[in-house]
């Protein structure tokens, strides 16, 4: 069984009175919960039979499982708690579990099957992949560095990791991950095949605008909806590995179009917020958290970057102030997942395409600790161990080929 999500029970610490939660909010949040076997969200699949809004933000949800002993019940239970409790207006949850009627079950299967056959307009991200967007609101706080180090750290621990560089105009992943060359559509489906680099027993697959344009200037002129179309292209037209454990999305600075687009295209996205200890960065990051919540994306936690600098003599200097990460985490009711010190190895690693996490020193240690926290507590990979076979495959086999 996957460990308890860290957000559980640790919410509603904000000093401001949260807005009351409505039925639409609950359904919006539940659209982020995907049944990993059926590949669609629980609202779409008709699994949410009832929602009750109780006094003081206490929510009752009745969930109808396809079969009573569904091995994914624990996973869904965790996900529903994490999604709903991540909303500041939700104070508690009661889930009643029930089983679908035969009629409901066939409607659910028909829906799942239809979704699976509708290639256009759906993402190519496997339903068992955990999607984490690394965002901050403010530029230059280390989103891209955190993304590259997390990706490589997770891969070195044996995970299959995708990196989607959503910073179309200011891409940095090709350089930071040490990957270059044009992306080609190299298989029968004419999907783009990401570049891949092996680390330890895992690997990192990466797509970036840097692999599609000749120079940075030509991407810089893209704006608004065009930017969103580029991200959509990466979500729909890339042949990601079927066994991808994580997809990390390196977000551009700001809280604009891309985050809104992502919430629409991939509502199961969860957000890791990066901030520096400075008050200004923390305030802007709080706005990013706000937008995440408005678009029903769960904030997994906060990462404080550039925490302090320790000189060769061992003295630490809090160059950008102190406590920003902790204050932000407290204000938005999400855990502080890690603090990365300011260290030249991070800059150097990014410049030579060998992320600091692979080396020695305090920053490498801090990144490795962050990787462990994410993989074991805050956002563990989707657990499919309890399933003997994919239900949808069985349904597909029973129903025969699509006409």
Ligand X SMILES: Nc1ncnc2c1ncn2[C@@H]1O[C@H](COP(=O)(O)OP(=O)(O)OP(=O)(O)O)[C@@H](O)[C@H]1O
- Region binding ligand X by CB under 6 A among candidate stretches 14-22, 24-32, 133-141, 318-326: 133-141
Q: How far apart are CA 350 and CA 177, in angstroms?
A: 7
352 contacts ligand X (rule: CB under 6 A) = no
Number of Cα atoms under 13 Å in the Cβ half of residue 214 = 0
Residues forming beta bridges with residue 41, ordered by sequence position: 34
Q: Report how far apart, in Å, the C-alpha atoms of 29 and of each of 16, 22, 82, 124, 169 are.
A: 21, 11, 10, 22, 30
Which lies closer to ligand X via its Cβ, residue 59 or residue 302? 302
CA angle 335, 340, 342 (to 5 degrees): 145
Residue 340: both structure tokens together: 């990365």
User: To 10 degrees, the CA torsion angle through 104, 109, 111, 115?
Assistant: 160
User: 235, 225 in Cβ contact below 8 A?
Assistant: no
Crossing angle of helices 279-294 and 257-265, rounded to 10°: 40
**Shorter beta-carbon distance to ligand X: residue 138 or 268:** 138
Residue 317: count other Cβ atoms within 10 Å of its Cβ: 10
Smallest gap from residue 140 Cβ to ligand X (A): 4
> With CB under 6 A, what is the number of residues at the site for ligand X?
21
Separation of alpha carbons 309 and 297, rounded Å: 33
Residue 141 touches which of Mg ion, ligand X, none (CB < 5 to 8 A by kind)?
Answer: ligand X
Q: Is 167 in the site for ligand X (CB under 6 A)?
A: yes
> In the range 252-271, which residues lie near ligand X by CB under 6 A?
253
Q: Which is nearer to ligand X, 75 or 145 (CB)?
A: 145
Q: Smallest gap, in angstroms, from Cβ of residue 277 to Mg ion?
A: 19
Q: How many CB atoms sit inside 10 A of residue 50's CB?
A: 11
- Of ligand X, Mg ion, none, which one sits near residue 271, judging by CB under 5 to 8 A according to partner kind? none
144 binds Mg ion (CB under 5 A): yes
Complex with ligand X: residue 72 or 219, whichever CB lies closer: 219
Site string for ligand X, 363-402 (x = CB under 6 A): x---------------------------------------
Q: Rounded to whole angstroms, how far apart are CA atoms 293 and 295? A: 5
CA distances from 403 to 40, 117, 120, 124 (A): 22, 11, 17, 22
* 170: contact with ligand X by CB under 6 A: yes
Choosing from 162, 350, 355, 381, the residue that interacts with ligand X (CB under 6 A) is 350
Among the residue ranges 1-9, 136-144, 324-332, 386-394, the one whose residues contact Mg ion (CB under 5 A): 136-144
Per CB under 5 A, the segment of 103-111, 115-123, 138-146, 387-395 that binds Mg ion is 138-146
140 contacts which partner out of Mg ion, ligand X, none, CB within 5 to 8 A by kind?
ligand X
Contacting residues toward ligand X, per CB under 6 A: 136, 139-145, 167, 170, 172, 253, 305-306, 340, 342-343, 346-347, 350, 363
Contacting residues toward Mg ion, per CB under 5 A: 143-144, 167
């Amino acid at each position: 069984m996957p460990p308890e999500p860290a957000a559980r029970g640790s919410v509603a610490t904000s000093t401001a009175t949260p807005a009351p939660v409505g039925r639409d909010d609950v359904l919006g949040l539940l659209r982020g919960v995907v049944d990993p076997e059926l590949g669609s969200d629980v609202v779409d699949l008709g699994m949410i039979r009832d929602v009750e809004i109780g006094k003081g933000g206490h929510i009752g949800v009745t969930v109808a499982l396809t079969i009573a002993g569904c091995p994914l019940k624990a996973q869904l239970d965790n996900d529903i708690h994490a999604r709903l409790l991540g909303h500041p207006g939700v104070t508690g949850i009661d889930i009643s579990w029930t089983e679908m009627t035969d009629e409901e079950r066939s409607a659910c299967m028909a829906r799942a099957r239809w979704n699976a056959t509708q290639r256009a307009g759906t993402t190519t991200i496997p339903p068992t992949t955990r999607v984490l967007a690394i965002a901050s609101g403010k530029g230059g706080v280390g989103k891209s560095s955190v993304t590259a180090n997390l990706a490589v750290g997770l891969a070195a621990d044996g995970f299959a990791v995708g990196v989607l560089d959503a910073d179309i105009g200011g891409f940095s992943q090709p350089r930071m991950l040490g990957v270059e060359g044009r992306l080609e559509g190299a298989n029968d489906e004419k999907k783009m095949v990401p570049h891949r680099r092996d680390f330890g027993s895992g690997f990192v697959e990466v797509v970036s605008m840097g692999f599609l344009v000749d120079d940075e200037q030509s991407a810089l002129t893209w704006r608004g909806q065009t930017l969103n179309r580029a991200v959509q292209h990466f979500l729909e037209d890339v042949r990601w590995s079927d066994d991808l454990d994580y997809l990390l999305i390196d977000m551009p600075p700001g809280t604009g179009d891309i985050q809104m687009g992502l919430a629409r295209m991939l509502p199961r996205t969860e957000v890791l917020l990066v901030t520096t200890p400075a008050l200004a960065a923390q305030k802007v990051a709080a706005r990013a958290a706000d937008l995440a919540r408005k678009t029903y994306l769960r904030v997994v936690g906060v990462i404080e970057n550039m925490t302090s600098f320790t000189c060769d003599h061992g003295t630490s200097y809090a160059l950008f102030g102190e406590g920003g990460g902790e204050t932000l985490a407290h204000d938005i009711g999400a855990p502080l997942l890690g603090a990365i010190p300011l260290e030249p190895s991070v800059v150097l690693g990014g410049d030579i395409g060998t992320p600091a996490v692979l080396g020695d020193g305090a920053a490498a240690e801090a990144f490795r600790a962050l990787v462990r926290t994410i993989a074991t507590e805050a956002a563990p990979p989707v657990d499919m161990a309890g399933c003997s076979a994919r239900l949808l495959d069985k349904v597909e086999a029973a129903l025969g080929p699509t006409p």
